[in-house]
Chain A
Amino acid sequence: MNIIFLLAPFSVLLGLIAVGAFLWTLRADQYEDIEGAAARILIDDTDAEGPDDQG
Chain B
Amino acid sequence: MAVTFDAALQPDMSAFLRKRDDGRASLDLLVTGARCAGCISKIEREVSRLPGVEAARLNLSTGRLSVGLTDGDMDPAAIISALDRLGYPATPFDPGAALVQRDREGRRLILALAVAGFGAMNAMMFSVPIWAGLFDQELGPATRTMMMWMSAAVGAPCAVFAGMPFFQSAWRSLRSGRANMDVPISVGVILTLAISFSETILNGRDAYFDAAVSLLFLLLIGRWLDHVLRARARSAAGDLLALQAPAACVVDGSGHERSIPLGDVRPGDILRVRPGDRIPVDATLEEGEALIDNSLLTGESAPERVGPGQLCRAGAVNTTGLLTLRASARSEDSTLAAIARLVEAGAQSRSRYVRLADRAAALYVPVVHAAALATFAGGWALGLDPREALIRAVAVLIVTCPCALGLAVPAVQIVASARLFRRGVLVKSGAALERLAEIDHVVFDKTGVLTEGRPALVGAPQEVIAMAAPLARASSHPMARAIARAAGDGPVAANVVEHAGLGVEGVIDGRRARLGRAAFVGVPTLRSGETELWFGFEDSEKTRLQFSDVVRPDAAAAVEALKARGVTAEIMSGDQVGAVRTVAETVGLATWKAGMLPEEKSEAIDHLTAAGRKVLMVGDGLNDAAALARAHAAIAPGSALEASQNAADLVLTNDALMAVVEAIDTARSARRRALENFGFAALYNLVAAPAAMLGFVNPFVAALAMSGSSLVVTLNALRVRSGR
Contact = CB atoms under 8 A, between A and B. Distances in A.
A16 B118 contact: yes
Nearest to B118: A19
A39 B118 contact: no
Query: Which among B61, B111, B126, B150 has the greatest number of chain A C-beta atoms within 10 A?
Result: B61
B122 A36 contact: no
A8 B126 contact: yes
A32 B59 contact: yes
A11 B60 CA distance: 38
At the interface, is chain B mostly helix, strand, loop or mixed? Answer: helix
B58 A12 contact: no
A27 B355 CA distance: 34
A23 interface: yes
B118 A36 contact: no
A33 B40 CA distance: 12
Contacts of B114: 19, 22-23
A12 B111 contact: no
Nearest to B107: A26
Interface in A10-50: 11-12, 15-16, 18-19, 22-23, 26, 32-36, 39-43
Interface in B104-121: 107, 110-111, 114-115, 117-118, 121
Given A12-B154, A19-B115, A39 B122 contact: no
A43 B38 CA distance: 7
A15 B121 contact: yes
B62 interface: yes
Nearest to B121: A15
A38 B59 CA distance: 11
Interface residues of A, number: 20
B39 to A, nearest CB: 8
B41 interface: yes
Given A8-B150, A23-B114, A33 B59 contact: yes
Given A23-B111, A23-B114, A43-B41, A36 B61 contact: yes
B110 A34 contact: no
Given A15-B118, A19-B115, A39 B110 contact: no
A39 B61 contact: no
A34 to B, nearest CB: 6
Interface size class of B (residues with CB under 8 A): 20 to 34
A26 B62 CA distance: 18
Nearest to A36: B60
Interface in B380-400: none
A25 B692 CA distance: 42
B37 interface: yes
Nearest to A29: B59
A30 B530 CA distance: 55
A27 to B, nearest CB: 9
Contacts of B37: 39-43
Contact of A40 (B40, B107, B117, B154): B40
B60 A12 contact: no
A25 B270 CA distance: 51
Contact of B36 (A12, A23, A34, A39): A39
Nearest to B58: A36
Given A35-B61, A36-B60, 17 more contacts: A8-B125, A11-B122, A11-B125, A12-B154, A15-B118, A18-B118, A23-B114, A26-B107, A26-B110, A32-B61, A33-B61, A35-B60, A36-B61, A39-B60, A41-B37, A43-B37, A43-B40
Interface of A: 8, 11-12, 15-16, 18-19, 22-23, 26, 32-36, 39-43
Query: Considering the complex of A and B, which 7 residue pairs feature the smallest CB-CB distances, nearest first?
Result: A36-B60, A42-B37, A39-B37, A33-B59, A43-B41, A35-B60, A19-B118
28 contacts: A8-B150, A11-B122, A11-B125, A12-B122, A12-B154, A15-B122, A16-B118, A19-B114, A23-B111, A23-B114, A26-B107, A26-B110, A32-B61, A33-B60, A33-B62, A35-B60, A35-B61, A36-B40, A36-B58, A36-B60, A39-B36, A39-B37, A39-B40, A39-B60, A40-B40, A43-B37, A43-B40, A43-B41
